[in-house]
Amino acid sequence: MGYQYYTNCAGLTKSQVPALHDMTEQSVDVTYTTFRKAVGGDELDAWAADHGYDIGNQRGGLRLKSDWHVAYYRSKWKGRRCYYLVWSAYEEIFLSEEVSP
C-alpha cells in the first residue's frame, strides 16, 4: 500500500487541530525500520533529503535513521491508519495513498 507525506502540524487548519490531538493521544511507538517499511523507502528518502539528511550513497552527513532526536509512531488520522514522525517538535504526517485528506 504505502503512505504519502501529507503535512506537518504547522500546516494544519484550526479545524484540524482536534484530529492532531486525537492522533497523538492514541499513537504507538514504532521503530525506524517499521516506519520505513510502512511508509516506503522512496517516500521516506524524499522527505529525508528535503530535510537535509544524507540518503543513498551520500557519505559523511547525518542519516535519518541515526538521528536519535527523531521518534516514529503509528496512529489514526480521522479514523484512518497513519504513520508520523516527530522531528524538531513537528509532527510530520504520512497518510495511506488510498486516503484523501
In angstroms, the CA 20 to CA 23 distance is 5
* pLDDT > 80? residue 99: no
pLDDT at 98: 63
Residue 100 has pLDDT above 70, yes or no: no
Check whether 1 has a pLDDT greater than 70: no
Instruction: Write the DSSP string, the chain.
Output: --EEEEEEGGG--GGGHHHHHHHHHT-EEE-HHHHHHHH-HHHHHHHHHHTT---TT--SS--GGG-TT-EEEEEEETTEEEEEEEETTEEEEEEETT---
CB 83 within 8 A of CB 74: yes
Structure confidence at residue 61 (pLDDT): 84
Among candidates 74, 78, 81, which has minimal Cα distance to 98?
81
What tens digit of pLDDT does each residue of 25-79 get?
999 999 999 999 999 989 999 999 999 999 877 677 889 999 999 999 999 999 9
